[in-house]
Structure 1
Amino acid sequence: MSNGGECRYVIGQNAYIKLVLHALKHKTSAVNGVLLGRLSGDIVEITDSVPLFHSSQIGLLPPLEIALIMIEEYYSSQGLSIVGYFHANERFDDLELGTVAKNIADHVHRYFPQAVVLLLDNKKLGSLRNKKDKSPAVQVYARDSSSSRSWKQVESDRMTTKEPSANIVLLDFISSQKWNDIIDFDDHLDDITKDWLNSQLFN
């Protein structure tokens, strides 16, 4: 399989919750991060996510390259690789995949042709409380199979959460303001004692 055009995506509960909390912690900034997992047949299994940046560094190459090297070194020993990218726009109502997001996604795609891009959908996130929606609060993008140069939004049912109750658990985390505990690479670069793996988040 040469691209993500035919893939399905399954995201683990912790990976999903982490990326949403990252966006909620920095509501007035664009945020981004990478998705870790593996390819199993035609399913991309996303088992973890690493929040990257929330500042003006979000599109800068040197900090991004440092982060990606550290992430790849850590996760490769677990048999995982970078399988996608997530992004949340600065404005609540902005549902466009912008130039910075596409450029970083292109970089990930070069190493993992089945890469997926998740764009946080704030409107969907806001409606989680009102309905029993089990689907992730994200828009899903993959490389178009007919035009490998462009990212296209795909049907939301191509992405499912591994645990059906992920949105319920997410709401619990939101109600307890758990986003205050999220650490991203920006935080780590400011203070290297801060754990970018967020290994205590779900304890």
Structure 2
Amino acid sequence: MVNQKSIDIAKERRTIYQLGKDITLSHEEISELVQNAMIASPTAFHSQTVRAVVLFGEHHVKLWDLTLERLRPEVPTEEAMKATSAKIAGFKAAAGTVLLFRDQAVVKQLEEQFTLYKDNFHDWAEQGLGGFQQLLWTALRENNIGANLQHYNPLIDEQVAKEFAIPENWDLRGQMVFGSIEGPDSGKKEFLPFEDTFKIFE
């Protein structure tokens, strides 16, 4: 029989918006989980282009406060702003956020070092980040911690860099909000039939 425990755990991963602060792992354990997911995720040429910042407590809250302020001039109506504020309040109620980055300095170095593949390194760095996101999200779920993935970049890039002393070469690509599971997940998903998405040659 095929052992697919890791796939079964990954199937349990779902987007969860109703998150709280009642997680059983300590800040140190969460940070170690993020670090281990980083080193276990493959990157092209073993380039290690993935970067992460974990925000807890007031730093987590500050992220979503500055996001709300940055969104304010972009939201067209007062009614829409109320909905946006409620959504941001949901993120603030969670236990923390992992900021996800690509290191563009490494990408540039690879472009110069391996000119034959120059046009691919941005995509490969994004693939590396995607692998890290998937592994981290699955590891959180295995520890009964829910998460959702947000993409307020590039709107908040400048504010985030200033507030958290982010190196100039770190390119913000996403924000993974995590916490205790306080509500339903995104539910059952529909998938395309394999005859449209999969081929095998024997």
TM over 0.5: no
| TM-score (normalised: structure 2) | 0.26
| TM-score (normalised: structure 1) | 0.26
Select the structure that is richer in strand. Answer: 1
Select the structure that is richer in helix. Answer: 2
